[in-house]
Chains A and B, each alone.
Chain A
């Protein structure tokens, strides 16, 4: 039914997206497809690494761990953005096309009043992406 699943990840808060990761792994094993883990970083040093290359190493290690733990095929895709706080949605939408994913599994918070002003990233992706989008709460 699906050919490729894309999962946006924030490597600083893996525990918070655990449900989404588990759901994506189950679906990948069920359909026998690969999961592409996507992360967005800035060129500036961050808590994940001094340079984007270091962040990329972490992302690859994360992908390898997921493959080992869940048994599905994984790829990773790191996006460098000059202003990740603002450009995240735009970069993720482009990444869906680049990765040719037809299902996005994404963690999202329970909507609150701020969503009227700033839609959640998951909400924006679901609204604009051509691919199917599954938002996993909490």
Chain B
């Protein structure tokens, strides 16, 4: 050996880290081989059981559409109305836990060992976690939710400023505007990001610091010990694959319908299944291209481009809309959020069940069912950050961006509804009739250069789907390869294609709503899982070097 030995890219020394002593070797349960000329390296039985169960559920939804639709159509609202207190209470615990970690001495623990250095710059890192986490939701709900909460759902009993005859009740305007923004921000700021942060932190800690494979089961080592390598772990991983794939496939199906609605609105392209199938195929093809370009050349690049375009659109709406009003809305929305966060997160004794169960509990179940996917992706790109830095950047900064986004898009839309309700396209699409996919385009219609900004909106929706599809394939591939991140590329291609195929089958055969309801229903067991994760993280951090 000579001095010429090099260690490119390795943070040397990585410093102290508390490696868990286990006899399990990563990949020991994997089956490696080739199917004809195509090589594979898959975890047995997670890969096979996941793939077969997914096919069985698709078949069930297609063969018995009415039964599936009736069952899951009943199950989801039953869960969110029966367990609303549980979802709200658990989400509060996640926020408090994260805030506690920021100020606690364990905040200085570094993911990847005491002297590890980050793999990504702040910009690349932040863009990726945002694009995977909620970019698509901001496009869809940025206009819809503030207007809906101001005018219809009446959170905490704040009355609507819109009378039954469509006229404006001036006395209610200010309070309803404030509450509309606060109630929206509540769903997009600290709470959802705390859910993602708990999962991501737990995975990153147990993988990068404890040396366990990067799969969901690893986070349960402090609870189940060596049993996580058996069926307990298999079930956890299969559930995660299941929620991720169906979450992505059903979102892709609905996303194609939204993009089609936008294309119809802007270009008059007919809204039908054929166009939507073409859209899914295009999105999947672009996602495949991105998959083949890898994490740095694909997801990261697309995420950064999309964040840039989204920032430009935000700036345009801010400047083209009533800027002074928006800035004041931003301030008052943030203040209202700070004031109302405690009453809004109160899980008991509420009268506004339409908002609390129909929106908040639904959202928490939704974020939680997506958390294995988003959390694992965030974990993978977060090595080298300290726990304090990690929580601050995953919790606080995205929250501020969401507040800004909602204040700008929602503020402009609310202003359009209040100042001229008769001419407002937003009022027509959100309040008079309920057309969520068109709400963004309706708001843009009231601003200059609507045809250009609407096209940008459609492009953003599509690219956010591409980044979700790509990062989702990466996550599913890693889980079904037993935590290996260098499994043969055709496996990643398989999952990306499979997800597009499931979306197309469900779109054509029906069953998107039923399976999406089922995914959201997985939020209930996962909530319990996340609560256990908090405890596991707490235990895990105590033995780490600070």
Contacts and interface: CB of A to CB of B under 8 A. Distances in A.
Interface in A40-95: 42-47, 50-53, 56, 60, 63-64, 67, 73-87, 95
Interface residues of B, number: 49
B487 A85 contact: yes
A79 B9 contact: yes
Nearest to A81: B9
Contact of B12 (A53, A60, A79, A95): A53
Contact of B5 (A77, A82, A83, A86): A77
Contacts of A87: 294, 296-297
Nearest to A85: B486
A98 B212 CA distance: 32
Given A42-B485, A63-B1, A85-B485, A47 B25 contact: yes
Contacts of A86: 292-295, 297-298, 489
A65 to B, nearest CB: 11
B10 A46 contact: no
Interface stretch (B13-21, B68-76, B159-167, B236-244): B13-21
Interface string B192-210: 0000000000000001100
A103 B213 CA distance: 36
A16 B296 CA distance: 29
B8 interface: yes
B37 interface: yes
A70 to B, nearest CB: 14
B211 A51 contact: yes
Contact of A114 (B37, B293, B297, B383): B37
B465 to A, nearest CB: 21
A82 B119 contact: yes
A47 B481 CA distance: 12
Contact of B10 (A34, A50, A80, A83): A80
Contacts of B191: none
A76 B1 contact: yes
A42 B2 contact: no
B204 to A, nearest CB: 10
A1 interface: no
B347 interface: no
A51 B483 contact: no
Contacts of A64: 1
A47 B26 contact: yes
A28 to B, nearest CB: 14
Contacts of B119: 43, 82
A78 B6 contact: yes
B486 A84 contact: yes
B110 interface: no
A78 to B, nearest CB: 6
Interface residues of A, number: 38
A98 B443 CA distance: 54
A75 B4 CA distance: 6
Nearest to B17: A51
A98 B6 contact: yes
B489 A118 contact: yes
Interface string B454-484: 0000000000000000000000000000011
A52 B484 CA distance: 14
B121 interface: no
B77 interface: no
Contacts of B212: 45
Contacts of A43: 112, 119, 208, 383
Nearest to B19: A50
A85 B492 CA distance: 10
A45 B487 contact: no
Contacts of B297: 86-87
Given A47-B25, A86-B297, A118-B489, A60 B10 contact: no
A44 B17 CA distance: 14
B1 A114 contact: no
Interface string B404-424: 000000000000000000000
B296 A83 contact: yes
11 contacts: A44-B483, A51-B19, A52-B7, A74-B1, A75-B5, A78-B6, A84-B486, A85-B294, A85-B487, A86-B292, A118-B489
6 tightest CB-CB pairs across the interface, nearest first?
Answer: A50-B211, A86-B294, A83-B295, A80-B9, A112-B37, A83-B294
Interface of B: 1-2, 4-10, 12-14, 17, 19, 25-28, 36-38, 112-113, 119, 207-208, 211-214, 292-298, 380-381, 383, 483-490, 492
Given A46-B485, A84-B486, 8 more contacts: A43-B119, A44-B207, A44-B380, A47-B28, A47-B484, A80-B8, A85-B488, A86-B295
